[in-house]
Structure 1
């Protein structure tokens, strides 16, 4: 596990990433607008549950990759770095969010779903998205010290911490969705959050690209 300073950086980075508007946030917001805050919270819990699948699957992959050839490590490293750089550039040059009226219209185009359907929708959206797995493989290992005796366990613990920390953020999006949707100025301000997260993605991508194989 990282020391306290790096752990706090990990938590802060996780919160910033979860605050950044994206597909998961849009899913939470639209469900909250359509069926109320309770539906939005359930949507967030479904997304978190899907992320847990990737955490445990990625932990097994990281453990195996660190015990194999440098070629496998390099392929994973560059795949993760490329994804982080892509996401960073995409966020830096993203357009301003849609107007509140457009979001409300989008949310009301479908009939309300049951809470189980909302939960499973968030769950499968993440489980079936390979980019989520690549993200955890690219992001979490940067906070695991090279001399950590059990890297797979450290990965799982950090992944669980990341997901647990996402619950209050996702719930906050659900509770604030209706208020945010009525205020275009607030949504335009969130555009700067995209810029900050984009810069952080790029920094992590560059750091990962320069990382040497810890098993050497």
Structure 2
């Protein structure tokens, strides 16, 4: 079987994360993703989602559990997350949370990081922090060396911007880790499932 990196696209990760919340059909998935503004992170189309669902089913990461039809509505196939799907989701999240060279995938991983247990998420984010700190130190050393060699400032502006962004992410990451260390900060795959807002959102998406 292919590795999870080969199998999973960002849309695939989103689908697996949704099914971790419970069995659902693609129509509900689309409505939930749009309602949660996941279109900030990736392009959401019915065609792409249905294609993704088919690929995940062939890879045995999800499985069909029923077909229903109400009134004049078209048939809706409901899917469930398999054990392999759950394992691949967790593995992908761990890998992309620690990686600093794929920023678009990191945004997806961060959006779905609550699918990891608290200690698991913190461990991955600490690994990321160490890699970011190393990258930031190397960039600062490179800028200092370039200035000592009288490299024109006009060609260094992009490096300066990257240094500022890395420093800002490190400060944000420290803040997030501090919040995660506090038990009062809700976290985990089941932290919000019983809230009125969540239940209302799921009910609306099913209609």
User: Which has the larger strand fraction?
Assistant: 2
Structure 2 length-normalised TM: 0.27
Whose RCO is larger (CA < 8 A, sep 6+)? 1
More helix by share: 1
Larger radius of gyration: 2
The alignment's TM-score, normalised by the length of structure 1, stands at 0.27
